[in-house]
Amino acid sequence: MPSEAMTPEPSLQWQEEQGVPRRLALTDKIFLGRVCRGIDRGKCIIVRNPMVSRDHAVVRLTRYGVEITDMSKNGTWVNDVRMAPGASRQLEDGDLISLGGTSIRLFCPHLAPQPEKENWTEQTAISPTAICVTSLVADVRGFSAFSQKVDSAVVYAFIKEIFSRFSTIVNEHHGTVKDYIGDAVFAFWEHPGGFSPDHALSACQAAICQLRSGPEIHRQLTDRGLVIPPPVLGWGLTTGQVTLSHYGSRPADLALVGDCINLAFRLSSMANKTLPGPIVMCRQTASLVTQQLPLMDLGNQEIRGRTGQEHLFGIQLG
């Protein structure tokens, strides 16, 4: 067996524009970005692409392994899944980081963490981009009335558990959590190269898993002595083209703007309420998953705040 001294050290590996292979040892942190001003060149990977932020992301060793933190405005992808803006996640040997058309692979057969903290700033301009997404909104029913009746600490524990469990499910199905808005979780699945049944199906399966996790969430909370009713939620799923850009001054202010986003929130408020079934989707989403999931036709429905009608479908649950 090779000795520890002979074990290859963790590194990031990529190709420069000319196709020259490069390798940078990961002994503490490696900064990824367009400029990485003030950083030793032996600790950064420069990607000269206008869509890459000046300080785009950082990969570091921690006591738990290798972690990447997104600091960008145009996004960082890990294994073709967009990271939530400003988020951190663990990396594994062989994971592929993508930014500005450059792919960087992690090689980490042996870890030697040296954690420390640092702050960064961001001043990169944003170019609006049209992308295709499937959106998922999960909305808690009766939240306002519930908040009036119980202590705020109980409300916090309730929402925290739902948000945590639902976010984990989104990540397991290769989606991106965009926002926590009041009592709703908003996630999306990006379709590279046009509408894809696989990505729409992943969003639908995430909604089903979230629904089925409800009893377990309630059991765990009641086991902790919290007196709360079983959670009742509605899910809205839509697919369409949106503009991805940026609002405000923070990297986390990523914006997805499009009619299908608005519709997803409307459908989540109608599911399990004015419409039968907890999971409701638009016609475009239904057309992508109809071969994989049993659907029920809900017909043409009027949507509050919208003109005309929408042809809606629900998922038949066994």
| Higher pLDDT pick, 281 / 118 | 281
Position 255 confidence tier, pLDDT thresholds 50, 70, 90: confident
- Residue 238 to residue 137: CA distance in whole angstroms: 9
pLDDT digits (tens, 9 = 90+) for 7-37: 568 899 999 877 889 999 988 899 999 988 8
The CATH number given to whatever domain includes residue 96 is 2.60.200.20
Q: What is the mean pLDDT of residues 217-236?
A: 88
Residue 253 binned pLDDT confidence (cut-offs 50, 70, 90):
low
pLDDT of residue 242: 92
279 and 215 co-located in one domain: yes
Residues 45 and 161 in one domain: no
For residue 71, tell me if it sits in a domain: yes
Structural domain range at position 270: 129-315
CB 141 within 8 A of CB 41: no
What is the average pLDDT across 106-131?
57
Q: Is residue 245 part of a domain?
A: yes
- For the segment 117-133, the average pLDDT, to the nearest whole number, is 58
pLDDT-derived band at 6 (thresholds 50, 70, 90) equals very low
Alpha carbon 118 to chain centroid, angstroms: 24
CB-count exposure of residue 300 (10 Å: 0-12, 13-18, 19+):
exposed
Burial code (b: 16+ CB inside 10 Å, e: under 16) for 23-36 equals: ebebeebbbbbbbb
Instruction: Give pLDDT, residue 112.
Output: 46
Question: 154 and 103: one domain?
Answer: no
State residue 248's pLDDT score.
55
Residue 121 has pLDDT above 60, yes or no: no
In 10 A of CB 6, how many CB atoms? 8
74 & 163 share domain:
no
> For residue 2, what pLDDT band results from cuts at 50, 70 and 90?
very low
The per-residue pLDDT for range 272-297, each reduced to its tens digit, is 889 989 999 999 999 999 999 999 99
In a domain, 117, yes or no: no
Q: Mean pLDDT, to the nearest integer, of 95-106?
A: 94
Given this model, what pLDDT does residue 209 score?
A: 97
Q: Is residue 122 part of a domain?
A: no
Residue 115 lies in a domain: no
pLDDT on residue 146: 76
Burial of 209 (0-12, 13-18, 19+ CB in 10 A): middle
* Dihedral-angle region of residue 289 (phi above 0 means left; psi in -120 to 50 means alpha; beta otherwise): alpha
- The model carries a pTM of 0.69
| First vs last C-alpha separation in the chain | 52
One domain, residues 92 and 138? no
DSSP 217: H
Beta bridge partners of 84: none
- Percentage of residues of the chain with pLDDT beyond 90: 51
Residues 263 and 176 reside in one and the same domain: yes
Residue 177 sits in a domain of what CATH number?
Answer: 3.30.70.1230
187-191, 202-206, 250-254, 274-278: which is most confident: 202-206
Q: Is 260 among the domain residues? A: yes
| Res. 122: pLDDT tops 60 | no
What local confidence, expressed as pLDDT, does residue 252 receive?
52
Specify the number of domains making up the chain.
2
Do 43 and 161 reside in the same domain of the chain? no
Average pLDDT along the chain:
86
Distance between CA 271 and CA 281 in Å, rounded?
Answer: 9
The answer to whether residues 310 and 246 belong to one domain is: yes
Find residue 23's DSSP bridge partners: 13
Per-residue pLDDT reduced to its tens digit, 164-199? 999 999 989 999 888 888 789 999 999 988 899 999
Q: Specify the pairing of strand 309-315 against strand 279-282.
A: antiparallel
Which tens digit of pLDDT belongs to each residue from 292-312? 999 999 999 999 888 999 999
Q: How many CB atoms lie within 10 A of CB 136?
A: 32
Q: What is the residue-wise DSSP string for 125-164? A: ----EEEEEEEEEEEETTHHHHHHHS-HHHHHHHHHHHHH
* Domain shared by 100 and 153, yes or no: no
CA distance 192 to 229: 40
pLDDT level of residue 110 (50, 70, 90 thresholds):
low
288 in the same domain as 194: yes
For position 225, what pLDDT does the model report?
86
- Whether 276 and 186 map to the same domain: the answer is yes
- Name the pLDDT band for 99 (thresholds 50, 70, 90): very high
Domain match, 66 and 142 both: no
Question: What pLDDT does 156 receive?
Answer: 86
Answer with the residue of higher pLDDT: 101 or 283: 283
User: Of how many residues is the chain composed?
Assistant: 318
User: Is the confidence at residue 56, as pLDDT, over 60?
Assistant: yes
